[in-house]
Amino acid sequence: MGTPLNSNGLIPIYFIDSNEIKLVEKIVKTDEEWKKILSPEQFNVARKNGTELAFTGKYHNCHEDGIYQCVCCGTDLFNSQAKFDSGTGWPSFWEPVAEENVKTKTDRSLFMVRTEVLCARCDSHLGHVFDDGPPPTGLRFCMNSASLNLVKK
């Protein structure tokens, strides 16, 4: 998932408000810059591939309508209508708002092989995706609340 940079160094990102894909710059900051705008927990999870404890994140049991955005850069990531209760203790979604907005990579940490999900615009660690989700995709995007910001409808 996700699209590489084009020849101008821009990437396509889908914007829900305008219902269109726009070419935008990648967001790159130093750890010191991220620390100035993120809480310690957000920094640990989103920038250092941490994981919040199950059932502790503010969105694991949230049922409000809205769009979940990247806590680091504000990119639209998940619609609340694609959220479901996976029973895992983390907010779970069966699809992102657009495949352009997330990217995946193999994660071989913790003595296992998983598929990590990152924000396509700023490379923020969001969580992992598994193939045990509900129809129609069969996917479970298991995300960390600390990497997300819900913008209510």
CB-based contact 141:134 (threshold 8 Å): no
Q: What is the pLDDT confidence band of residue 111, given thresholds at 50, 70 and 90?
A: confident
Helices and strands in the chain, H and E counts: 3, 11
Domain boundaries in the chain?
10-152
pLDDT, residue 112, reads: 84
Out of 72, 119, 122, 142, the active site residue is 142
Euclidean distance between CA atoms 56 and 110, whole angstroms:
21
Q: Report the percentage of the chain scoring pLDDT > 70.
A: 95
CATH architecture label of 10-152: Beta Complex (2.170)
Q: Active site includes 142?
A: yes
87 has pLDDT over 60? yes
pLDDT (tens digit, 9 = 90+) per residue, 22-76?
999 999 999 999 999 999 999 999 999 999 999 999 999 999 999 999 999 999 9
Q: Give residues with Cβ within 8 angstroms of 104, minimum separation 6.
A: 1, 2, 115, 116, 117, 118, 129
Query: The pTM is what?
Result: 0.92
